[in-house]
Chains A and B, each alone.
Chain A
Amino acid sequence: MYDVLRRNRNLELLGIILIGILIVVVLPLALDIFRLNLVGKYLTYAFVAVGLVLCWGHTGILSLGQGVFFGLGGYCMAMYLKLEASTPEATKIQSTPGIPDFMDWNQLTELPHFWVPFQSLPLALIAVFAVPVLIAFILGYALFKRRVGGVYFAIITQALAAVLTILIIGRQDFTGGINGITDLRTLLGWDIRTDSAKYILYFVCCFALLGSMLLARQVIASKLGRILIAVRDKEERVRFSGYDPALFKVFVFCFAAAVAALGGAMFTLQVGFMSPSFVGIVPSIEMVIFCAVGGRHSVVGAVTGTLLVNWGKTVFSESFPELWLFAMGGLFIAVVLAFPRGLAGLFTDQLLPLINRKSGGKHTGVTPVLAE
């Protein structure tokens, strides 16, 4: 038993290293900066998927509103960058120089109060994590303490996504509305739109992602991870054993929110804008699908799934836009029906035993505990 655990951990670690080599070495050499920037964008979605591995795969909490946290993290970063791009000389043609362009069109004459802290980078960085985690904490605590879970929780996260979308789009003077916050230029004076900047941001994103993956894996492999799985499978017994499942659920939900927010901030940096189209229900569900396709029990799988599905989307939507939606719908159904543990599951359940048998049965296939 201990052997199985140990080998399982090593496999994950190996997978993370392989992914690391892929995104840090192979892809930058193989792709031009345009495609690489696209990969960087996919990697930011992978952050959300990593969070979902912990939150959904290991604890059984399905959140259909991760876009909320992704968007909040992204907006916090965007607010800082927008303020930096709206210096008085850059905006001298406006009727009120020194404030973002969309505020000027809405006849605001000064920065709204909640924007003022975002003039400082440290505060903005803190906000990137603090705001989503705070909301996750409030929602999680209120719901998990009352033992709400499963489908109910998923629907409530959907409602939250809907609420935030309406609020952002409606308050266009505060948030840029449906257009989002666009035209971001520099970070502390460094132009983020140049090719060299895109390369650097890509690598920063890669390392942040790898760091998140390692952190998630650490949680999974620790005693905390065992408790999470227990909470997912037999919550009542965990309660009877003296633990409070609610606290664990809150923790893991906040962790997922924090990781998603980091992804959102990286997205803003790499793509150069943030809009409410990432906050809503549809993108949130898509992020869940990336995780599902790759394997919700494995961080390696989640990242792989994200890369594959997004790459497929770009390739197919260029050539067969109509077919692509059929394919994506079909993919969801296939993943759920045929390989619910995703590609990672296919690997560990089918491929690995095959390899082991061929190599003389030296290692046994790893089958992590799972009830769903």
Chain B
Amino acid sequence: MFMEYSLGDLGSIFAMQAFAGLILFSVYLLMALGLAIIFGQMNVINMAHGEFMILGAYMTYLCSHLFQTYAPGLYDGYFFVAMTVAFIVSGGLGLIVEWLLIRHLYSRPLDTLLATWGLSLIMQQTFRSIFGAREVGVELPAWMMGSLPVTGSIEVQINGLFVMALTLFITGIVALLMFRSRWGLQVRAVLSNRVMAGAAGVNTQRVDRLTFGLGCGIAGIAGSAFTMIGSTGPTAGQLYIVDTFLVVVFGGAQSLLGTVFSALSISQSQSVMEFFMSGSMAKVITLLFVIGLLMLRPQGLFVLKIRK
């Protein structure tokens, strides 16, 4: 297959494929970041994570309509407003859900799986009732569409760049929050030893609530970003959950670095394999690869030593 191309062409192929891999990496990381925070902190798998993402996507859709009707001049910048709205709405809903539902279930992580699955069903049906069963199209501002030619034969998608920049930004903020802020300190304290942290005066309930809200807010931003590259419909959230869960579990729950590396390895392996074989087989092999690795190293890639 490679014989047909000149060296220059091959270089372009690899460059573009690497870029595609980076975009996939950013997508996976963005999807998984919100969940990783929640899972690492509270050992809660939020099965409604996909639906929080789609909530962000629907908010983007609403914003795009609002801007089109009321402020068409500002349309080019609407996406940033939309992402902020998505963060606030998803995060807000996350706070409410934590307060109503999750906080009763901390001692029973398996039960939160089921409860959040029920939540996801309710959210899906709500989307269907409000927005209709069909997918909705979200229009992008003109500057976000198309691609930039870097060299003669290499082009990079603008929205790919946008997603990567966004992921970098969000990851950076989360890392800052985790390791430099007071809240992050409290989070890490609760992570290490919940009881002691409580005894030391940390309001564990508030920390948990904020963490859950933050995780859901990030999911909302991810969903908002994905309107550029995917569909927005009531059941679209289901498309993302398996990948997201695997990235989180593979990375080792309690480590941000683990999530990053996990997203990197899964996305690269999938991207490379997709180039050489069909999409289905690539997906199957990636999943089996992850399962196999988890069988060998079940705690994931990076594990914090914790004294319980």
Contacts and interface: CB of A to CB of B under 8 A. Distances in A.
A and B associate: yes
Interface of A: 56, 60, 62, 64, 139, 142-143, 146-148, 150-152, 154-156, 158-160, 162-163, 166-167, 170, 281-282, 285, 288-289, 292, 322, 325-326, 328-333, 335-337, 340, 372
Nearest to B126: A326
B295 interface: yes
Contact of A330 (B118, B245, B288, B298): B118
Interface stretch (B107-115, B140-148, B203-211): B107-115
Interface string B95-112: 000000100110111111
B246 interface: yes
Contacts, number: 123
Nearest to A321: B125
B232 interface: no
Given A146-B295, A151-B43, A288-B114, A322 B108 contact: no
B114 A289 contact: yes
Nearest to A61: B110
Contacts of B108: 336, 340, 372
Contacts of A328: 118, 121
B101 A148 contact: no
Contacts of B113: 62, 64, 151, 154
B242 A336 contact: no
9 contacts: A139-B295, A146-B296, A151-B249, A170-B281, A285-B114, A292-B114, A328-B118, A333-B118, A372-B107
Interface in B68-117: 101, 104-105, 107-115, 117
Interface in B23-73: 39, 43, 45
A155 B129 contact: no
Contacts of A143: 294-295, 298
Interface of B: 39, 43, 45, 101, 104-105, 107-115, 117-122, 124-125, 128-129, 238, 241-242, 245-246, 249, 280-281, 283-284, 287-288, 290-291, 294-296, 298-299
A159 B295 contact: no
Contacts of B287: 159, 162-163, 166
A337 B105 contact: yes
Contacts of B280: 166, 170
Given A148-B298, A289-B114, A332-B117, A156 B109 contact: no
The 8 A-B pairs with the shortest beta carbon distances in the complex, nearest first, are A332-B118, A329-B121, A329-B122, A148-B298, A325-B125, A142-B295, A336-B115, A329-B118
B220 to A, nearest CB: 20
